[in-house]
Structure 1
Amino acid sequence: MKLSAEQTAFAERLGHHFRDPELLIRALTHSSIGSPTRPDNQRLEFLGDRVLGLVMAEALLTADPDAPEGQLAPRFNALVRKETCAAVARDCDLGAVLRLGRSEMISGGRRKEALLGDAMEAVIAAVYRDGGLEAARKIILRHWSRRLETVEADSRDAKTALQEWAQARRLPPPSYVEVGRSGPDHAPVFTIEARLETGQSARAEAPSKRGAEQQAAAALLDRLE
């Protein structure tokens, strides 16, 4: 099986030449279009998550040999979480080559954070199966390098930081309320308000509820600080 022109261009953006093109095709195949004769990417996603974790753990230990586990753990979590994988997927335009069923295509699947994050992990596994750990490490470090350099500042997501702020002042955890939704069904935009018991609040918009919650929490933290 040969790669299409679009898939070949994606492999070039990724930085890996596939000896077995079928591995990449499978990594790009969502379960909504999978079948007994067309395997989807779920098993590869499972493997890719573990490969990414190993490479990130090693990279963090190398980058900061003296950091205790308590500092390494939040940095690790920030680098391997689904939002980060989805952001990397957007950087290399993975969504453009995702193979989706009709329902997912209509509902904007190429932009969905969960689908992009899962597919990025599957692509990592495809590279690992095709070229081994060194090949996988090469593409991971290539696409995560900027995030590795800035992870100290981003190691705590905004929602966690806001909750810790509230706990330190003996306040209940913040709440997140959907106060608006706009756009078509296949590409909605959510408006979320982060609220504290003190009455302080902030709003943000994003294509996903999770993203809007994070941005609202960040906006509220900015006001508090």
Structure 2
Amino acid sequence: MKVKIDNIEKLESKIGYKFRNIKLLENALTHSSYSNENKTYKRVNNERLEFLGDSVLSIVVSRHIFKEFPNYPEGDLSKLRAQVVCEDMLNEIALKLGIGQYLVLGKGEEATGGRIRKSILADAMEAIIASIYLDGSLEDADKFILSNLEESIDTLVKGKIFSDYKSYLQEYFQGKNSNYRIKYVVTGEEGPDHDKVFYVDVLVNKKKFGSGVGKSKKTAEQNAAKKSLLRLGEIYE
């Protein structure tokens, strides 16, 4: 039994890749619910491609952020990668490309909204990545992935990833010179005990580098560290 997907050439145009073996793309779009309901189709679906695509996606994104952000320590690279390769991000790309309309689903999955189900769309994206990799090369997969994710990576980096600004600031200066000393000093507080506001300066080698305000000392310190990272150009508003 062979699956034939209508207007698959239009999808190739959206993807930006012309397949030599179109069956790879057809398999990438075939959900297990279809093969389960159609026994003559055996076990041909996108699950194996999804497995491979997950690894290809990870290595492409890892390589890209490793090269693009040389000052990021391992922990922040891991945080960034996790947010880039997550289900939400893959689903967003799938919706943009209109992948749902090309999926081959079983009748039950079709009836229950499978074409817009986040997990199914995200899995299909991983399978498509694998199909491009197998049909072409890692460079082809790289081009497809980054053309769809590079803008999102940039958005994430611009101040939306790091919640522990103090650690990031510490790691930044340690990477420059181990002699840097960072100290947080409370310069003032105001308001009643149940609603205090704290003011904190961050000192780098005894020189004021940034200041922050918060409802607690910890929050004020984090805000001071964030202001310092903004000043350094390591993050953006």
Q: Note whether the superposition's TM-score is higher than 0.5.
A: yes
Q: Residues 120-140 of structure 1, C-alpha deviation per residue, up to 9 Å, x if partnerless?
A: 000000000000101100100
The structure whose Rg is larger is 2
Which residue of the partner structure matches residue 126 of structure 1? 131
Query: What residue in structure 2 maps to residue 31 of structure 1?
Result: 32
Deviates more, 1:146-155 or 1:48-57: 146-155
Deviations 1:86-131 (A, max 9, x none): 1111111101101001111110001000000000000000000000
> Which residue of the partner structure matches residue 48 of structure 1?
53
Q: 1:2 to 1:104 in 2, by over 3 A?
A: closer
Residue of structure 2 equivalent to 1:150 = 155
**Partner SS state of residue 41, structure 2:** coil
Hey, what does 1:108 align to over in structure 2?
Answer: 113
Give the whole-Å Cα distance in 1 for the aligned partners of 2:40 and 2:148. Answer: 32
Is residue 5–residue 102 contact of structure 2 (8 Å, CA) maintained in 1? no
Q: Are positions 1:89 and 2:99 aligned together?
A: no
139, 148, 157: which one pairs with 2:144? 139
**1:77–1:155 Cα contact (<8 Å) kept:** no
Conservation of the 8 A alpha-carbon contact between 1:45 and 1:125: yes
**SS at 2:14 equivalent:** helix
1:3 positional shift: 6.2
Structure 1 CA distance for aligned equivalents of residues 40 and 92 of structure 2: 31
Q: Counterpart of 2:149 in structure 1: which amino acid?
A: W
Measured after TM superposition, the shift of residue 148 of structure 1 is 1.6
Distance of aligned partners of 1:9 and 1:29 in 2 relative to their CA distance in 1, 3 Å threshold: same
Give me the whole-angstrom Cα distance separating, in 2, the residues matched to 1:8 and 1:93: 13
Is 2:13 aligned against 1:8?
no
Equivalent residues of 1:29, 1:41 under 8 A apart:
yes
Q: Please list every run of 5 or more consecutive structure 2 residues that lacks an aligned counterpart in the other structure.
A: 165-237
Q: Contact (CA 8 Å) 1:41, 1:119: kept in 2 or not? A: yes
- Residue 145 of structure 1 aligns to a residue whose secondary structure is helix
Q: What one-letter code is carried by the residue in structure 1 that aligns with 2:14?
A: R
Q: What's the CA shift for 1:6?
A: 2.2
Q: What TM-score, normalized to structure 2? A: 0.63
My pick for the range that moved more, 103-112 or 31-40, is 31-40
Indicate whether 1:63 and 2:68 are aligned.
yes
Deviation at 1:37, TM superposition (A): 2.9
Post-superposition offset of 1:7: 1.5
Preserved CA contact (<8 Å) 2:91 2:118: yes
